[in-house]
């Protein structure tokens, strides 16, 4: 979707569903001009693989990470207009649970359903699961080794015994339940994971690990810088700079 359509949709939503168009017109103009003109069109903040659809997916994931529920509701119809499918949106929300916890995701899941109903999108959407109780551990280990490398094989039984159950959960739940689902490919899943981690902050070791994982699956450093740049208006400068430092460390 062209930039002008994206900004027009956002401005319409801001004016129709929030009082800010009347109470804070100067702020609305200032933010919209920066986020939907300068950031979107700056050559240094772009990448050939970062179209409006991919940009919208990254922004939705970042809004989940920083708990920007009001902005998420505003952005969701624009993301649909940009070509992000209902299945892709649901997969972004579902996967966020592994990185944010259900306490911070439930409001976004409810908001997604509300917007889908407003947009006449039938619920429930098509199921995307590919594993079950008997296959999730093996599938999760395959996903981990594909993303991070062969050194992750046997991770479920590694480490101190008193915390080994967390390793098993990471393999079976985080990777076996979520990463094996349809709807998003592995590059998209790693991209949104980086956005979750960058936006919530305080997860720098995991951010560095997943920045490297992104590079392993084909999301190069320039692409990751572009993604983080596009999420900056939503997560702020400190977390953006931390994320860029993590990407530099991963690349090194």
Is the pLDDT at 7 greater than 90, yes or no?
no
What is the predicted pLDDT for the residue at 251? 97
197, 66 Cβ separation under 8 angstroms:
no
- Over its C-alpha atoms, the chain yields an Rg (Å, rounded) of 18
User: Measured between alpha carbons, how far is 81 from 60 in angstroms, rounded to an integer?
Assistant: 13
What is the predicted pLDDT for the residue at 3? 47
pLDDT tier at 10, thresholds 50, 70, 90: low
User: Measured between alpha carbons, how far is 52 from 54 in angstroms, rounded to an integer?
Assistant: 6
Quickly count: other Cβ atoms within 10 Å of residue 118's Cβ. Answer: 11
- In order, the DSSP letters of 163-215 are GHHHHHHIIIIIIIIIIT-SSS-HHHHHHHHHHHHHHH-S-HHHHHHHHHHHH
- Tokens coding 196: 């979750």
pLDDT tens track for 74-131: 999 999 999 999 999 999 999 999 999 999 999 999 999 999 999 999 999 999 999 9
- Tokens coding 116: 């889908």
Q: Which of 13-17, 34-38, 67-71, 133-137 has the lowest mean pLDDT?
A: 13-17
What is the predicted pLDDT for the residue at 29? 87
What is the predicted pLDDT for the residue at 205? 97
User: Measured between alpha carbons, how far is 247 from 252 in angstroms, rounded to an integer?
Assistant: 9
Is the pLDDT at 1 greater than 60, yes or no?
no
- Tokens coding 214: 């992104």
Mean pLDDT across the chain: 93
39: Cβ contacts below 8 Å, ≥ 6 apart: 45, 229, 230, 232, 233
């Amino acid at each position: 979707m062209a930039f002008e359509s994206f900004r027009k949709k956002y401005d319409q939503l801001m004016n129709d569903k929030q009082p800010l168009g009347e109470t804070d017109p100067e702020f609305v103009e200032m933010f919209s001009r920066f986020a939907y003109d300068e950031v979107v069109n700056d050559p240094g903040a772009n990448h050939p693989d970062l179209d409006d659809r991919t940009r919208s997916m990254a922004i939705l994931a970042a809004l989940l990470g920083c708990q920007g529920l009001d902005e998420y509701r505003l952005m969701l119809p624009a993301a649909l207009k940009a070509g992000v499918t209902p299945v892709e949106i649901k997969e972004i929300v579902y996967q966020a649970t592994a990185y944010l916890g259900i306490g911070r995701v439930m409001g976004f899941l409810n908001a997604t359903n509300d917007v889908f109903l407003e947009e006449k999108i039938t619920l429930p959407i098509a199921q995307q699961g590919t594993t079950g109780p008997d296959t999730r551990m093996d599938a999760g280990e395959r996903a981990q080794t594909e993303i991070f490398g062969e050194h992750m094989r046997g991770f479920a039984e590694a480490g101190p015994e008193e915390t080994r159950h967390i390793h098993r959960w990471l393999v079976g739940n985080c990777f076996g339940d979520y990463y094996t689902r349809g709807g998003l490919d592995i590059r998209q899943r790693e991209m949104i994971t980086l956005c979750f981690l960058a936006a919530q902050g305080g997860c720098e070791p995991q951010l560095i690990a997943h920045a490297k994982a992104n590079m392993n699956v084909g999301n190069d450093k320039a692409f990751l810088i572009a993604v983080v740049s596009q999420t900056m208006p939503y997560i702020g400068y400190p977390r953006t700079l931390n994320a860029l430092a993590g990407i530099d460390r991963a690349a090194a």
